[in-house]
Amino acid sequence: MPNFSDPRWNLSMPLSSSATNSYQQSCIQMTLENSELWKSFHTIGTEMIITKHGRRMFPHCSISLSGLQPFANYVIMVDIVPADNFKYKWKKKQWEVAGKSEPQPPFRTYIHPNSPAVGSQWMEQSLSFLKMKLTNNTLDQHGHIILHSMHRYYPRFHVIQADSPHTVSWGSFQTFSFPETVFTAVTAYQNPKITRLKIDHNPFAKGFREGGTHSHSKRCRSNKCSPTKKSTQDKKSICNSETGLQRMPSPSQSAQAGKKRAWTQQSLKTGHLSPWAPEQDSSESIHTEPLELQEHNYSCEEQMVPAYQPYRSVEYPRFPLPTTNRDPTETPIHAPSHLLSTMEHSTQQQEYRHSYQQGHHSNPADWSQYPLFPYSCW
């Protein structure tokens, strides 16, 4: 059991800059939608499975936004950065530091598939990053976020005012993160409490719930149960006969499908095709869990409160610098070179990273040393 009172478990996040920053155009608020779920994982010590082919996060990142300019275009992106510079190991039922972290794998960013969209659309509904996947495969070609196993990370959310993901370097941006979203990347679950919690809350893990069909501990892997590879239908019929349950569409399935269709058609009619609905479905399944999900709505004023408050970075103007009253002593912000480079860090990116690190923070785990988007995932 990790000791969360240990200062190492606290994020070494820089304090937010003053809201009086002259580039502060608006007061964007970000809410972590399933924060209660995140917290319940966080109290145990969240673990996220990473696999060669990519694994979704659970809990997944789901946020809502307010304070955007209704008619301005925004790109929303997520990256995942180290929470500290340690490598961990699971020993005697708890996490222990196992040395210094390994070199950062190729840094990647996940752009929300609906980007770009106008502020009113982003604020219309919560947005989920359900489809973002984590991998430990440094040669991954699918654009998944690459992480090291046994290292601790946290997601950062970037709200960038830009007309296209290709022009994000010209837009102003704000960065948010939530302390309860810190997790340890693992290739197999270490803490059985996490497994239990995931099974209880993740619909895809329903089969492993106690009282479910054939829980794996009792499951037979031998040919007694499955002499040959069965077709899906065969498997279903076996499943049904085992459980005595009739295979029926889930209660809300049809209704949902109907709703979705109606919604899409209406959107088409009105010409306002909001691209949100498909991704919302899965998050809805989480929201229907019997957890009391108390949403945290963090305002600009609240951001300094330490417990479970998001960190919001200063809104930096991006390249080219506007001709406003910017403090000349402030570290120059280099234009991110993601548009020039591809997957790996380029010299320019390293410069960019270096300037941030020098100019603002000295902690090696600091957020600012990681380039925003050297690689885009589409």
Binding residues for DNA, per CB under 7 A? 49, 51-52, 55-56, 58, 88-91, 98, 131, 136, 149-150, 186-190, 195, 198-199, 202-208, 212-214, 216-217, 219, 221, 225-226, 229, 231-233, 235-236, 238-239, 242-243, 248-250, 253-255, 257-258, 261-262, 265, 278, 281-282, 285
Closest approach, Cβ 307 to DNA, in A, equals: 27
State the nearest-atom distance from the C-beta of 203 to DNA, in Å.
Answer: 4
Query: What's the rounded Cα separation, in Å, for the pair 33 and 149?
Result: 26
Q: Give least dist CB 374 to DNA, A.
A: 23
| CB 262 to DNA: min, Å | 5
Please identify, using beta-carbon distances, which residue of 233 and 347 lies nearer to DNA: 233
Q: Measured between alpha carbons, how far is residue 128 from residues 77, 115, 136, 240 in Å? A: 11, 12, 22, 33
Closest by Cα among 76, 66, 63, 78 to 26: 66
Element containing residue 266 per DSSP (H, E): helix 253-270
Least separation in angstroms between residue 273's CB and DNA is: 14
Quick one: 100 or 235, whose CB is closer to DNA? 235
Report CA-CA distances (Å) from 242 to 218, 220, 231. Answer: 13, 13, 16
Q: Which is nearer to DNA, 255 or 340 (CB)?
A: 255
Q: Which residues contact 283 (CB under 8 A, 6 or more apart)?
A: 33, 34, 60, 62, 126, 128, 130
Q: Which is nearer to DNA, 22 or 243 (CB)?
A: 243
Pairing of strands 109-111, 376-377: parallel
Q: How far is the CB of 41 from DNA (least distance, A)?
A: 11
- 109, 374 in Cβ contact below 8 A? yes
Query: Token pair for residue 55?
Result: 């694994």
Rounded to the nearest whole angstrom, what is the least distance from the CB of residue 209 to DNA in the complex? 8
Q: DSSP letter string over 100-123?
A: EPPPPPPP-EEEPTT-SEEHHHHH
Distance CA 339, CA 352 (A): 13
Give Cα separations from 194 to 77, 88, 113, 307 (angstroms). 27, 16, 29, 22
Nearest to DNA of 277, 321 (CB atom): 277
Identify which of residues 150 and 182 has a Cβ nearer to DNA in the complex.
Answer: 150
Q: Which is nearer to DNA, 162 or 194 (CB)?
A: 194
Nearer to DNA by Cβ, of 249 and 322: the residue is: 249
The least distance separating DNA from the CB of residue 289, rounded to whole angstroms, comes to 11
Residue 49 or residue 117: which is nearer to DNA going by CB?
Answer: 49
Name the minimum Å distance from CB 178 to DNA: 19
Question: Are the beta carbons of 112 and 129 closer than 8 angstroms?
Answer: yes
List C-alpha distances in Å: 136 to 129, 188, 240: 19, 12, 37
DSSP structure class, residue 92: T
